[in-house]
């Protein structure tokens, strides 16, 4: 269960009332890769097979996942891997693998209006109830394919990518929408999955922009109301002026 109610006391000016507040839940899951312990993930307890599959690919350990199973708080993935595993500390004290992202090659383009449709899909009822969940969405052929909520913004990317992997979808034809900001680690996940376009409601960091530039990812941030900012590879957004001011 991802949402639960707790008794609380709400103070609004001079008004004091007892309420039942909806909050999001979290748990710790142990991820195994090819029967070897890989890492622990703090995540919302849903879409766990997708989380395991997506983490393996988004962290650059493999290009495909052969199988994923969940038993209790253990997630077990099988995949053909390459390279040594070296961990690094990322923003918000999250941990990821120290590897250069894959370079994305995709001819996908979108209209500016599509950015606003993706932004609208990022907002969810669960977020409105709790204010404590991040959300990522995956669009293909102008359609919402999957949306995932989680206490961790990195997990939401893993989950939507994992869904695509487990359903044999072409991630090179997808657009990723995110509620959270885009540091290097978030952009790297999309690049490793082969996703060419990211749309975020939030900001980017300098390393997030540099990573997107180097990996061939179109990074669109501050998608709010009727505006957005394109930081890298603007050729994928049709009809916008690309010349520097």
Say how far apart CA 25 and CA 198 lie, in whole Å.
Answer: 27
Among the ranges given (75-89, 97-111, 188-202, 231-245), the one the predictor scored with the smallest mean pLDDT: 75-89
Higher pLDDT, 93 or 128: 128
pLDDT over 90 for what percent of the chain? 82
**Average per-residue pLDDT for the chain:** 92
Instruction: Assess whether pLDDT exceeds 90 at residue 185.
Output: yes
Average of per-residue pLDDT across 193-200: 98
Average of per-residue pLDDT across 176-181: 96
Instruction: Assess whether pLDDT exceeds 60 at residue 90.
Output: no
For residue 235, what is the DSSP state?
G
Say how far apart CA 84 and CA 100 lie, in whole Å.
Answer: 13
Other CB atoms within 10 A of residue 25 CB: 14
Task: Identify which of 140, 134, 128, 139 has the alpha carbon closest to the alpha carbon of residue 154.
Answer: 134
Average of per-residue pLDDT across 21-33: 95
For residue 215, name the pLDDT band (cuts at 50, 70, 90).
Answer: very high
pLDDT tens string 110-163: 999 999 999 999 988 887 888 889 999 999 999 999 999 999 999 999 999 999
Cα angle for residues 236, 241, 243 (degrees, 5° grid): 105
Average of per-residue pLDDT across 15-39: 95
pLDDT for 93: 46
Q: Which residues contact 33 (CB under 8 A, 6 or more apart)?
A: 56, 61, 77, 78, 79, 81
162, 169 contact by CB (below 8 A): no
> Domains in the chain, ordered, with CATH?
27-97 (3.10.20.10), 112-236 (3.40.140.10)
Say how far apart CA 59 and CA 100 lie, in whole Å.
Answer: 10
Other CB atoms within 10 A of residue 234 CB: 15
- The pTM (predicted TM-score) of the whole model is 0.91
Instruction: Assess whether pLDDT exceeds 80 at residue 88.
Output: no
pLDDT for 98: 62
Q: Is 123 exposed, middle or buried (0-12, 13-18, 19+ CB in 10 A)?
A: middle
Other CB atoms within 10 A of residue 97 CB: 21
Residue 48 in tokens: 């766990």
């Amino acid at each position: 269960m991802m949402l639960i109610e707790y008794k609380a006391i709400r103070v609004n000016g001079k008004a004091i009332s007892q309420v039942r507040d909806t909050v999001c839940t979290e748990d710790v899951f142990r991820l195994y890769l090819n029967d070897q312990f890989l890492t622990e993930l703090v995540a919302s307890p849903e879409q766990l097979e997708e989380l395991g599959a997506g983490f393996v690919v988004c962290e650059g350990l493999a290009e495909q996942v052969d199988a994923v199973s969940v038993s209790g708080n253990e997630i077990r993935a099988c995949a053909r891997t390459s390279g040594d595993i070296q961990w690094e500390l990322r923003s918000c004290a999250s941990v990821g693998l120290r590897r250069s992202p894959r370079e994305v090659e995709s001819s996908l383009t979108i209209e500016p209006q599509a950015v606003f449709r993706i932004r609208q899909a990022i907002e969810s009822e669960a977020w409105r109830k709790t204010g404590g969940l991040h959300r990522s969405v995956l669009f293909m052929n102008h359609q919402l394919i999957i949306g995932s909520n989680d206490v961790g913004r990195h997990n939401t990317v893993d989950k939507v990518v994992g869904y695509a992997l487990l359903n044999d979808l072409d991630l090179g034809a997808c657009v990723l929408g995110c509620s959270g900001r885009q540091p290097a680690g978030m952009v790297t996940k999309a690049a490793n999955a082969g996703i060419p376009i990211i749309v975020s409601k939030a900001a980017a960091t300098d390393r997030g922009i540099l990573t997107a530039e180097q990996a061939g990812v179109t990074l669109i941030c501050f998608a709010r109301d009727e505006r957005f900012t394109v930081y890298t590879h603007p050729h994928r957004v049709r009809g916008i002026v690309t010349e520097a001011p």
